[in-house]
Structure 1
Amino acid sequence: MQLQNATALITGGASGLGEATTRLFIQEGASVAILDVNQEAGEKLEAEFPGQLKFIKTDVSSGQDVQQAVEKTIEIFGALHITVNCAGIAPARKIIGKTDGVYSPHALEIFEKTICVNLTGTFNVMRLAAFAMEKNEPNENGERGIIINTASVAAYDGQMGQVAYAASKGGIVSMTLPAARDLAKSGIRVMAIAPGLFETPLLLGLPEEARMSLGQQIPFPSRLGRPSEYAMLVKSIVENPMLNGEVIRLDGAIRMSAK
């Protein structure tokens, strides 16, 4: 599938990996709807690319929100061909540890919210996007659409304090192959990317010394990944019809230590 004249829906598209993907897609001639809760950042991007980008404030864990966003995307741009799920949260809590100076068990509501946003939100967008894509006319390869979800290396080697995050991303890894098999007859591919340490808003908020230290843990290149490099992989997956049902680690060969 080519990006030129395609319509993409990108969750978390107002910052980080999603924003980099949005910018590359627009550069390649696609129209993009970004679904995000950050209204200020979303509207700023929309103003930067009038006519080619639409911001839709959306809670990805809400069935109604996402259904309306998909319908609006098709109403504005005529179809939906590509979906990239980048929306997510990354709380850090040990199963037993100190929170605000109090020794306590991991808060259940934090675990539930992480699963709700990262895993349920990804599935919610995937199911509704796929239903819309199924109505597309297939291209010369028989493709009607592609969905790319964002996992994490934490799905494989989660660190201390990442139990909720690792569980949510492990679920994304686990559903990649069955989702691809479910949607094969519809001509819709499903892939996932498992990024390592990247220059996302979460890590950019750390002191420079801490960021440098994290980057040096990566075998090569020994630096944090750039969001543009994530976007490059997304583009390659979109354009290669044989990529389906697989999770690709994008991590500079890092294997995370326990802490």
Structure 2
Amino acid sequence: MPQLPRYEYTGPVDCSVPPDRKVLKDKSVIITGGANGMGEATARAFAAEGAFVTIADLDEIRGNEVAAELSPNAQFVKCNITSWEDQVAMFEAAIANSPHKSCDIVIANAGISRASGDDLWPLDDPNEAPVKPKLNIVNVNLIGTMYTWKLAVHYFRKQPDTDDRDRCFIITGSLVAWIDSPANWQYTSSKYGLRGLMRTARRNSHEQGIRINYVAPCYIKSAIRSAAYEAELISKGVEFAPPEDVAMCMMKLATDRTINGHSLMVTPRTVAKEGFKDVDMDDHADGYFKRNQEVQLNIIGDKWEPGWSKARTLEGANLRKA
């Protein structure tokens, strides 16, 4: 497997160094939510460099159109990421049809926003029975991405074990994982949760030769929004970034094997001339949080290896005696 060092904070990623595009040739890349928007832009960018891209999405019409345009460097697989079976089929197709029968880069991009409806937000009639909310946004954004992570780990470990193979997992998160976003309860919670997955997985990911990173887009231009709504957002201070800058951020992470455990933020060019920068807010330099982080790493020393079980840990042994 790829040999990676244990995660250690060494400062922010230097985003001024351009991606080494040539290393993408013949790599197998899975992009969930790859038929539209940021996912489509990323699929196009990677395929243009010779990567074989599996575009996974529910939008069959657009997904097949994009895959046909990018042929022979792309295929479309219909996939609902809340379905474990759909995702298994996605990974199997990616490996079966890629040049080296591999799975090198997985971009967990699929997600939905509060535009689909957030059932946590409505106020129910206090004189009536409470209404159980549907947690569709959490199920897609968080649970679906956890499925993608679990399967990526499995299929990464099955790929050809050669020096040129990478095991790279990228999560599409959001800037709201660092700021408050009123009335955006499920979406914000899910993006915080995904950031938490990255931050905790990075502590063991080297043991399986896997890199995991988080991409936090700001407001990105999208054909899904109406011109009127976009104009309203601009009038309230929103600066948009193009989806192509998301693609370049993904490419930076996918091509630089020294980057693990970082969050990169896609920003307007007025903020970062490359269109993205390291958030640099996922580590503690000193104080109480740093001390407790060190203690937590000492308490939970579990190795990420075959045969692990709760019963083998000190905590599990103590539970058995209780």
Question: TM-score, structure 2 length as denominator?
Answer: 0.69
% of aligned pairs identical?
26
Matched with 2:17 is none
Cα separation, 2, equivalents of 1:163 and 1:209: 24
1:73 to 2:94 alignment: yes
Q: Does the aligned pair in 1 maintain the 2:214–2:264 contact within 8 Å?
A: yes
Q: Does the aligned pair in 2 maintain the 1:33–1:56 contact within 8 Å?
A: yes
Tell me: CA distance 1:211–1:185, structure 2 relative to 1, closer, same or farther (3 Å). Answer: same
Q: Does the aligned pair in 2 maintain the 1:134–1:144 contact within 8 Å?
A: no
The match for 2:152 among 125, 129, 148 is 129
Matched with 2:185 is 163
The match for 2:35 among 14, 17, 21 is 14
Q: Unpaired runs of 5+ in structure 2?
A: 1-19, 273-322
Cα separation, 2, equivalents of 1:105 and 1:18: 41
Written as runs of structure 1 = structure 2, the 5 A alignment for 1:32-51 is 32-51=53-72
Residues 58-82 of structure 1, C-alpha deviations (whole Å, 9 max, x = no match): 0111111101110111111111100
Pairwise CA distance, 1:186: 1.6
Residues 172-215 of structure 1, C-alpha deviations (whole Å, 9 max, x = no match): 0001022233331221100011111111344456534224325x
Pairwise CA distance, 1:134: 1.3
Tell me: CA distance 1:202–1:158, structure 2 relative to 1, closer, same or farther (3 Å). Answer: farther
Pairwise CA distance, 1:232: 0.4
Q: Answer with 1 or 2: which has the greater Rg.
A: 2
Pairwise CA distance, 1:140: 3.9
Describe the SS at the equivalent of 1:149: strand
1:246 to 2:262 alignment: yes
Cα separation, 1, equivalents of 2:87 and 2:120: 32
Written as runs of structure 1 = structure 2, the 5 A alignment for 1:75-154 is 75-77=96-98, 78-91=101-114, 93=118, 95-97=120-122, 108-110=132-134, 112-140=135-163, 144-154=166-176
Cα separation, 1, equivalents of 2:48 and 2:174: 26
Cα separation, 2, equivalents of 1:129 and 1:201: 30
Q: What RMSD, in angstroms, separates the aligned Cα atoms of the two structures?
A: 2.7
Structure (1 or 2) with the greater strand fraction: 1
Q: Unpaired runs of 5+ in structure 1?
A: 218-222, 255-259
Q: Does the aligned pair in 2 maintain the 1:147–1:189 contact within 8 Å?
A: yes
Describe the SS at the equivalent of 2:55: strand
Pairwise CA distance, 1:98: 6.6
Cα separation, 2, equivalents of 1:86 and 1:54: 17
Cα separation, 1, equivalents of 2:258 and 2:214: 14
The match for 1:57 among 78, 86, 93 is 78
Describe the SS at the equivalent of 1:181: coil
Tell me: CA distance 1:70–1:106, structure 2 relative to 1, closer, same or farther (3 Å). Answer: farther
Tell me: CA distance 1:108–1:182, structure 2 relative to 1, closer, same or farther (3 Å). Answer: farther
Tell me: CA distance 1:52–1:161, structure 2 relative to 1, closer, same or farther (3 Å). Answer: same
Cα separation, 2, equivalents of 1:57 and 1:84: 16
Cα separation, 1, equivalents of 2:198 and 2:184: 21
Q: Does the aligned pair in 2 maintain the 1:180–1:189 contact within 8 Å?
A: yes
- Runs (4+) of structure 1 exceeding 4 A deviation are 92-99, 102-108
Describe the SS at the equivalent of 2:148: helix
Matched with 2:194 is 172
Matched with 1:231 is 247
Q: Does the aligned pair in 2 maintain the 1:94–1:160 contact within 8 Å?
A: no
Pairwise CA distance, 1:242: 1.7
Describe the SS at the equivalent of 1:185: helix
Cα separation, 1, equivalents of 2:131 and 2:42: 33
Counterpart residue identity of residue 132, structure 1: Y
Q: Does the aligned pair in 2 maintain the 1:31–1:53 contact within 8 Å?
A: yes
Residues 225-251 of structure 1, C-alpha deviations (whole Å, 9 max, x = no match): 110000001111111112111222223
Pairwise CA distance, 1:13: 0.3
Q: Does the aligned pair in 2 maintain the 1:115–1:164 contact within 8 Å?
A: yes
Cα separation, 2, equivalents of 1:204 and 1:245: 36
Matched with 2:297 is none
